[in-house]
A and B are shown apart, each in its own frame.
Chain A
Amino acid sequence: MIERRRGLTVFSHAVLWCGLAVVVLPVYLAFVASTHPLDAVLTAPIPVLPGDMFWENYTAVLTGDVANFGSAPVVLMLANSLVMALGIAVGKIAISVISAYAIVYFKFPLRTLFFWLIFVTLMLPVEVRIIPTFEVAANLALLNTYQGLILPLIASATATFLFRQFFLTIPDQMLEAARIDGAGPIRFFIDIVLPLSRTNIAALFVILFIYGWNQYLWPLLVTTDQDMGTIVVGISNLIQVAEAEPRWPYVMATTILALIPPVVVIVLMQRQFVRGLVEQEK
């Protein structure tokens, strides 16, 4: 804002606080619910202040030490989700940065065709190809494995496209200077292109980690073994218990725990790519 009027400042802060409240309130209520016994949560009025069951509820869900809970320990599910999300994020970035490098810097027959082939897959969401993908995964004995969770989701047209666009902005002279310095394609990639892509990689990592973390349909299909279940699938299993009221404090505790890794990733990587943005020089 160019003008600095007091009323305006107060107003914009008020709007910000409202927005914040809308976002934070459900999370807060979830946290409150996770610290009470079940009957406290089910009777009106619902509690608005944290209760005294924090340690009990959280240790119970983390260790899976709950009778008839119908789910693997949350620690295990968190670990599964972490492996899957990291695998997807790292794998997608690794594959797309290499494909984009090939498409931008190498001349090979049908180069444009291959680029458009990759690009066209953007138009096919996971759901469209889920049955054939499941068939393939089943035939390769990938069900109930980390590879099965990760590999089918790893190819990324979006990331390839983003890296391609970024590489096109690196001046040609950079490549020529590197050629004169004697850098071959691999050295140029490692010494020049990757460091210059640092900020893009950081931003993409955050987006892709959350994308992987939030996967629901595919993990639901490809894992039948409870020990391979992911946290997002696990939460929905907790709610759909047969012939009983869901145990909301445990569900909410699990939900809060499921929030933590994406938040940690965002906080850590944000620092990374803000620093990158500050140092950016052309």
Chain B
Amino acid sequence: MGAIGIRDVRKSFGRTQVIHGVDLDVADGEFIVVVGPSGCGKSTLLRMVAGLEEITEGEIAIAGRSVNKLEPKERGIAMVFQNYALYPHMSVYANMAYGLKIARKPKDEIDRRVREAARILAIEDYLERRPGQLSGGQRQRVAMGRAIVRDPSVFLFDEPLSNLDAKLRVQMRLEIKQLQRRLGTTSLYVTHDQVEAMTLADRLVVMNAGVAEQIDTPLEVYQRPATRFVAGFIGSPAMNFLDARIAEGGDLRLPELEDPLARHPGASNHAGRAVSLGVRPEHLRPPENGEAPGFQLSVDLVETLGADTLAHGRIDDTRHELTARLPGTHKVAEGERVPLTVDASALHLFDAQSGQRIAG
């Protein structure tokens, strides 16, 4: 009942095109997170689904019918805004009931639905208060309550947790996830926070500069990023990129080093190609007993996080900078040279020009 179809949707503001053809099929009940840096068009995409922005080109369908020409209220959606957008002069109850009141639902039905939503969100005690008398987390709940009472076929979330402090954000993130599971309502969630994106999503849409660079499950996006941008955006600390060249037999060489850095079986068909070699900090490790190290890392800076230690440095004193995430038990000092190695399976190869994934 709540499937969303987005077909080659484009958006221009005046002459500036901000969304360059996005295709996305959301199954009923699915939780989709659209993630990307500021200005990538993710909020605009969401607002087009909501009906707050006109669709310049393409088609958006909700529950099988095209909504391009429909008003927001006719689309069967409910939206949670970043700043909550609660009506400050109305009580929590009135805020939640407002949409139903306009839709001329009978009083007892409104009452039942508002109280039911309040019970689900544990805000029954605040129903008579004004939004100004509530904390950030409570306001966030009311904003969700306002969405729930409408019993929509699609929930739209526009960075709903950005205004909360870090601890509350983690808690609300879990609550949103549980709530969505429980209600089974199709959800489209926009955020720039990759942790939110990874933890909430059934599938992720990674957007950059008005293009959906990759649409896939969080794990797949992490393990097999489709482009260099996705690889760099998802994962923390960010993936390391080295300007490398593929030599005969799939050897990956840095121009400054005599020995190949690694050998990648999938790369042998691309000999001679300039590539961006991606390796995640967490996939760099000290060689095991008897294993030859891939290279030495000249450590410039160490960040101790407790569980992990981040070592920032350069490969064999070249210009190639690298960050490695080592177990917290592994002692590293600044100025030291640390032998490191990486499994070929953990390497990502992207075309140096287009940034598209090549192999691996």
Contact = CB atoms under 8 A, between A and B. Distances in A.
A182 B103 contact: yes
A171 B131 CA distance: 15
A177 B144 CA distance: 12
A281 B87 CA distance: 10
B52 A179 contact: yes
Interface stretch (A89-97, A191-199, A211-219): A191-199
B222 interface: no
B73 A182 contact: yes
Interface stretch (B21-29, B56-64, B76-84): B76-84
Interface string A123-148: 00000000000000000000000000
Contact of B83 (A173, A181, A198, A279): A173
B85 A171 contact: yes
Contacts of A279: 130, 132
B37 interface: no
Contacts of A173: 81-83, 85
Interface residues of B, number: 27
Nearest to B104: A182
Given A176-B52, A182-B102, A282 B88 contact: yes
A176 B85 contact: yes
A181 B150 CA distance: 8
A73 B261 CA distance: 106
A281 B88 contact: yes
B50 interface: yes
B217 to A, nearest CB: 30
A11 to B, nearest CB: 38
A21 interface: no
A180 interface: yes
A271 interface: no
Interface string B67-93: 000011100011101110111110000
A226 B161 CA distance: 68
B190 to A, nearest CB: 14
Contacts of A281: 88, 130-133
B98 interface: yes
A46 to B, nearest CB: 53
Contact of B102 (A183, A195, A282): A183
Contact of B88 (A178, A180, A183, A196): A196
Interface in B71-125: 71-73, 77-79, 81-83, 85-89, 98-99, 102-103
25 contacts: A171-B83, A176-B50, A176-B81, A177-B86, A177-B87, A177-B146, A178-B87, A179-B51, A179-B71, A180-B50, A180-B51, A180-B73, A180-B79, A180-B99, A181-B102, A181-B150, A182-B99, A183-B102, A191-B87, A195-B89, A196-B88, A279-B132, A281-B132, A282-B88, A282-B132
Given A176-B72, A180-B52, 9 more contacts: A176-B79, A177-B87, A177-B146, A179-B52, A181-B73, A181-B146, A191-B98, A281-B130, A281-B131
Interface of A: 171, 173-174, 176-183, 187, 191-192, 195-196, 198, 279-282
